[in-house]
Amino acid sequence: MEPGIKYTKIGLPKFAKKFVKEEDFWKYLFKMRWPQGFVCPRCGYVEYSYHSTRHLYQCKACKYQASVTAETVFHKTHTPVSPL
Ligand SMILES: [Zn+2]
């Protein structure tokens, strides 16, 4: 797991507004979570399918569904861009 500590210094609401398109925001989150590309948190496999409606990345090997917001500060702060 990579550290997400440095992002806590940024006020999230103001920070999120920088992203004009929500899509860009999710791409950004993806980059934060998987800087080297997707890696399954469960089995380490690198191929995935993306569920755009739920912003989930499903591992093609074990079917684990990873969220870019899980285990990051964004998950805990209840960001307004959440589709839920
Ligand atoms: Zn997997």
Total number of domains constituting the chain: 1
CA–centroid distance, 57 to ligand 1, in Å, is 10
Of 58, 21, 54, the C-alpha closest to 42 is: 58
Does residue 82 form part of some domain? no
For the full predicted model, state whether its pTM sits above 0.85.
no
Whether 61 and 45 have beta carbons less than 8 Å apart is answered as yes
Does residue 83 form part of some domain? no
Does residue 46 form part of some domain? yes
CA–centroid distance, 32 to ligand 1, in Å, is 19
State which residues form the domain around 55. Answer: 5-76
CA–centroid distance, 10 to ligand 1, in Å, is 31
Does residue 84 form part of some domain? no
The CA distance from 51 to 75, in Å, is: 18
CA–centroid distance, 33 to ligand 1, in Å, is 15
Average pLDDT, the chain: 76
The secondary structure of 23-62 as a DSSP string is: HHHHHHHHHHH-TTS---TTT----EEEETTTTEEEETTT
Confidence label for 16 from pLDDT (cuts 50, 70 and 90): low
CA–centroid distance, 30 to ligand 1, in Å, is 16
Q: What is the tens place of the pLDDT at every residue in 46-62? A: 999 999 888 899 999 99
